[in-house]
Structures are given as C-alpha cells and as structure tokens.
Amino acid sequence: MAMATSPHNLLLKNPNLTPLKNSIFNNPITTTTTNTNTNTRFNLTTKPISIKCAATSQTQTPIQAPLQTQSHQDRVFNFAAGPATLPEKVLLKAQSELYNWRGSGMSVMEMSHRGKEFLSIIQKAESDLRTLLNISDDYSVLFLQGGATTQFAAIPLNLVNPNDTVDFIVTGSWSDKAFKEAQKYSKPSIIWSGKSEKYTKIPSFHDLEQNPDAKFLHICANETIHGVEYKDYPSPKNGLLVADMSSNFCSKPVDVSKFGLIYAGAQKNVGPSGVTIVIIKKDLIGNAQEITPVMLDYKIHADNNSLYNTPPCYGIYMCGLVFEDLLDQGGLVEVEKKNKKKAEILYNAIDGSNGFYRCPVEKSVRSLMNVPFTLEKSELEAEFIKEAAKENMVQLKGHRSVGGMRASIYNAMPLAGVEKLVAFMKDFQATTFFGISATFRSSMTQLSLYAKALFC
C-alpha cells in the first residue's frame, strides 16, 4: 500500500526519524499585528490539529508553521506601481487561512481547481466582482493568465479579422504597446496620440476622427506610467469600446454597459500578479481568428468558466478576498471617495509647493492612482527617494522611461501613507535651500569637522 512506504508514514513509525523535532516549525502559528488604519489588534492563532495516519492509527501533531510576530512597524508604505500594496486586512486573512483553508485541511495552493472548495472560491470571487461593478448577465467575467500584455494580442485575435480596421487612442506607453501588438492581427490606426506633449493629456472627444469602419475603439483608461486617467469615455462610432483598466480597475464605479470589453491585470488594485480579468459582452465571444491559440480564445474560457486549464488558483482566491474587502468598505462609491481624498491631498501638496514639486499632467485628467512628479532641482530627486525610503516610504522612483518620482496610491494605500508622504515632502522642501538639501549640508558639515580635526 502506498501509504505504508510514504515518508510521512515512516516518520510516524520511527520516532528517530523526526528531523522536525525542535525545529522552528514546531510552534503554533501565532500572529499579532496592528492594523494601521484602525489600530485594531489582530490575534490570529491556529490551534494544533491532529491527523490520523491510516496505516498506524496514531495521532500526531502535524508540522506547524514558524512562530511569527509582526507589528505594523515591519510594513512600509509601498508606493509601487504594481505589484502593489495589498489591504492589510486581506493579507492577514490570507495568512490565517494559508495553512488550512476554512477547515478543508489544506491550503488553497494545494487544492484541485476542480474540487468543490476551489469552485466555491472562484464562484464567490466572480459574484462579488459582479456586485461591485454591477455587471449584468450580458457579460462574461473571465479569470485568465498572461497579464494585460497577453490581452493586447487576444483582443484583436478574438474581436476582428486580420484585415479589419481598429482605432486606438494613444495616451501613454501602455496604449502604445497595445497598438503595436494589434498590428500583428489587425489593421490598427492611431486616431490621436499624446506623444508630442509627453503624454500629459486626454483628447477632447469631439475632435476625434474615428474611422467609419473601425471595429472597435481601444483606450487605456489609466496610463500607469504617465498618470493620465479618463474621467469620462468616448463613444465609438460602432459602439464597441475596449478599455485597458489595469491600473484603475475597481478604484471607482464604472458603467460596464458602455464597454464591449474591459481588461485588467490584478496586481495593482485587486490582487497579486498572475491573474488577468476580462469582462466581455457575451455576444462578442466565439469569433476568434483561426490562428488564435487555445489559451487566448475567449470562447474556450467562457465555456469552461475560466477552468479550461489550471487557473492561477491562489491569485484568484486573493482577488476574491480583495473584492470582499471592497464590498465591506461600502462598494466602489465609497472607495472612490477615499481615492479622491488621497489624490487631492497629494496634488495639492505638489501644486502648493511654489514649483518645488511639479506634476506635468493636465489637471482635469490627473490620475487618482498614479501620481508622477518631478523636483524643480532634478539633481535632488535621488536624495528625495533615498530619504523617503529611510522613512519607510518605498518605490517612489518614477518609471525609467520618464524619470522623476511616481507615487502609486491604489485602493490599498491608506490615507496615513499619503499624509506621511506629504509631510515628508514639505519637510524636504523646507530643509532644502539653494538647491542644497539638508542631508547634503549635514554631510558637508561633517566633512569640514573631519578636515578641521585632521589639520588643526
């Protein structure tokens, strides 16, 4: 019998073969941490559980997770553009369920994607997302892989024929990448580009010259690198609007019925990387080009409820926890209010700095999620980033293609994080005179003291 020779069974039979004795794994999982937002203390303790070995009928204490103690001092304010900060409540919930998901005796990472436990997870995630965005039954919700980048190819492959014209508005690097990939599978044309103005604007919709026969109009709802965000949406001539919402997905209410297709990588606002969500009008499914790989065919995924092959199970579970959290917060109307408040505080600090800090983006289209800014004296930017990191505010460097700084303040960035950043910015400005920062001045003072000690 397989059981009789399994390493686990050997361990149970021979007490000398217990390499885990006295190991750090012999402590119960005890986690104490403080929630930054609410100051609520969480005390998550899982009791040791006993398992029975069929071959020996012995009861054993299983391997247990290491003792971990955390406090919120261990956590930084992470302004990364993605993967990005996740809600602390969600992380703690996932931690408490990591080892044994709701009494199933296994982690979500170990579950069969076809088992009833995981089915309940993916179905709940979908239904909560439908509630959040008020998605009607006319739309399929797909949990896919390959990032939003894969969708740059999947969209033309599924929606049009190789000779079909499609329109692109290029407001930044991401819509430009989407346009370039679409060239392989369709005949895209750029009907507006913000490149000459360094991607700081969204066009006025009246002036758009859409191709009369364009099969869809593609936009990037929020350009993560440049920090420009649509506040309203253009109406395509044929009614089919396609939007990359990777970096503002679930950050505010969206009227899904205006779109033929919405897609988003999860790793900014709704979960870890590895999950891509596609919301597509059902009547657009089923017309993929013949060359479409099976993994890019929406019909395959829709017919199989996103379970055609092994999905990113743990990532989907995490997205589900985030959706639950967003609903607990009162839904996207409430979430948007918080995001507006955070963004307002930060933009006000930039605009009120007498030019010390600058945001190049036109005010009316500034992103609530990604805030790029520069220093008037660009030679101080590296120091700004270094000093901020010392204060536990990390990942503030702008994208390598644009430089400067960028603060990504997604849903999960607490107000306290933005307030701390703004206080730091004011302090940095106040201690910087004539282009020389406080730290530089103090290093120079130190140097001159050394020099005096050396030569006097």
Instruction: Return the residue matching tokens 């307002």.
Output: 344
Kindly provide the b/e burial profile for residues 6-33, where b requires at least 16 CB atoms within 10 angstroms of the residue's own CB.
Answer: eeebebbeeeeeeeeeeeeeeeebebeb
Q: CB of residue 21 vs ligand PMP: minimum separation in angstroms?
A: 44
Alpha carbons 114 and 309: distance in angstroms, whole number: 10
Q: Does 367 bind ligand PMP (CB under 6 A)?
A: no
Q: Does 224 bind ligand PMP (CB under 6 A)?
A: yes
Which residues does residue 370 pair with via DSSP β-bridges, in sequence order? 408
- The reply to whether 192 belongs to the active site is no
Q: Are 49 and 97 in contact (CB under 8 A)?
A: no
Catalytic residue among 89, 174, 297, 397: 174
Nearer to ligand PMP, 80 or 160 (CB): 80
- Scan residues 146-185 and list those touching ligand PMP (CB under 6 A): 147-149, 174
Give the range of 49-57, 242-250, 342-350, 395-403 binding ligand PMP by CB under 6 A.
Answer: 242-250
Q: Does 272 bind ligand PMP (CB under 6 A)?
A: no
Say how many residues make up the chain: 456
Q: Are strands 77-78 and 393-394 parallel, antiparallel or unpaired?
A: parallel
Nearer to ligand PMP, 315 or 320 (CB): 315
Tokens of 354: 């007498």
Residue 216 Ramachandran class (φ > 0 left, ψ -120 to 50 alpha, else beta) = beta
Among 260, 265, 315, 404, binds ligand PMP (CB under 6 A): 265
Which residue's CB atom is positioned nearest to ligand PMP?
147
Q: Does 251 bind ligand PMP (CB under 6 A)?
A: no
Tokens of 51: 């398992």
Question: Mask 62-101, x = binds ligand PMP (CB under 6 A)?
Answer: --------------------x-------------------
Q: Are strands 405-408 and 139-144 parallel, antiparallel or unpaired?
A: unpaired
- The reply to whether 138 belongs to the active site is no
- The reply to whether 255 belongs to the active site is no
Alpha carbons 437 and 429: distance in angstroms, whole number: 8
CA 152 to chain centre: 18
Among 97, 126, 167, 244, binds ligand PMP (CB under 6 A): 244
Q: Does 189 bind ligand PMP (CB under 6 A)?
A: no
Interface ranges with ligand PMP (CB under 6 A): 82, 147-149, 174, 220, 224, 244, 246-247, 265
Q: Which residues are catalytic?
A: 174, 244, 268
